Amino acid sequence: MANVVVVGAQWGDEGKGKIVDWLSERADVIVRFQGGHNAGHTLVIDGEVFKLSLLPSGVVRPGKLSVIGNGVVLDPWALMDEIERTKAQGVEISPSTLQIAENTPLILPLHRDLDQLRETAAGKGKIGTTGRGIGPAYEDKVGRRALRVADLADPETVESRLDRMLPHHNALRRGFGAPEIDRDALAADIAQIAAKILPFAQPVWRTLDQRRRAGARILFEGAQGAFLDVDYGTYPFVTSSNTISGAAASGSGLGPGRLNYVLGIVKAYTTRVGAGPFPTELEDEAGKRLGERGHEFGTVTGRQRRCGWFDAALVRQSCAISGVHGVALTKLDVLDGFDELKICVGYRVGDKEYDYLPTASGAQERAEPIYETLPGWSESTYGARRFADLPAAAIKYVVRVEELIGKPVALLSTSPERDDTILMRDPYAE
């Protein structure tokens, strides 16, 4: 029984939510393994829109176990708000359907404050974070001063964690001219939210091992995309966690040998939210058209996404880093009506050519795309459910993408609706 890891192979916003939801129909357990509520997934099910940030996409399916792994940084207040909103849409969420790893670090209000203080102070040099405390929470995790879910059960442990955390944060706040943290108010807020979070706390590593041994299919859901990875992304314009497939093991507690198939999610063009290099970005009418047709606004931030042509060199690189077996190509329908389409096959930096995006920040900023041009199509692909029903030029485009990235297209998405998905190769059968 294949366990499948789903990761974004670009800069996030590739349509992972829909694909995970589609795959979860045959999965038993769905796991979020990194990131926080800076990530957003939009699901459209029978016309109803679900916007999720912390909850795994599989939560909308009855009879499935959803898991938030230890690789996530968890804002407990944001989670409870999301649970209540999702319940109001008729979805059952309880400790029998949702588990949170006991060793998951928490995002506290002071993390959000620090995130926003830094971005404001950076001015034009800001990175473009969501301001939700993700980075500072990961810093406290590796700095060994984080408060974790299991700690909420013991007031003495909470106090000792605050003893270690507050001197660090207060020193930073003084440097920004901000008032020091009200310890008593923070402790009271933590005590109040603890009672709501603790019923979901479990040794998730044990749950996953038991389910695997019983023959369950486990689906791992990543957030953001490969080029926002803190190690392999366009640093420093990245998130604060590892977004590639290897994080599914460390962020959940299930060993890497149990990850059977890695599915990379790839948009049929390229988008990015926030600052940072973007070689194929279009600032002309074509870019505007992609954004309007694709409804390119961030699920969490509402910020307009930057749009550009498909970057095969970028995707080929991310597929190698994540060990991708096949890709899900999404939003093909957005390309309907273009007379011609371009695909980036490499970069030119000065007088040197690269078949991958170089690591140095200066080289990334100066990288100019080397394009290959393909014919577009005038027919509609919206809602197509068979590959043979696509226009000949669309089929040619998909095949060329496969050739350039060196990976097969396993799934092809032609609209936001769950069922408008063409199965080319079954990840569960590989």
Phi, psi of 373 (to 5 degrees): -105, 135
Cβ contact 256:245 at 8 Å: no
- CA 113/CA 92 separation, integer angstroms: 32
* 106 contact partners, CB below 8 Å, separation of at least 6: 73, 74, 75, 76, 137, 146, 147, 148, 149, 152
- CA 24/CA 61 separation, integer angstroms: 8
| DSSP string covering 395-406 | HHHHHHHHHHHT
Q: What is the CB neighbour count within 10 angstroms for residue 99?
A: 21
Residues annotated catalytic, as ranges: 13, 41
**DSSP state at residue 39:** -
Angle, helix 183-197 to helix 155-175, in steps of 10 degrees: 130
Phi, psi of 266 (to 5 degrees): -135, 125
Residue 99 structure tokens: 């588990």
Strand (E) or helix (H) holding 333: none
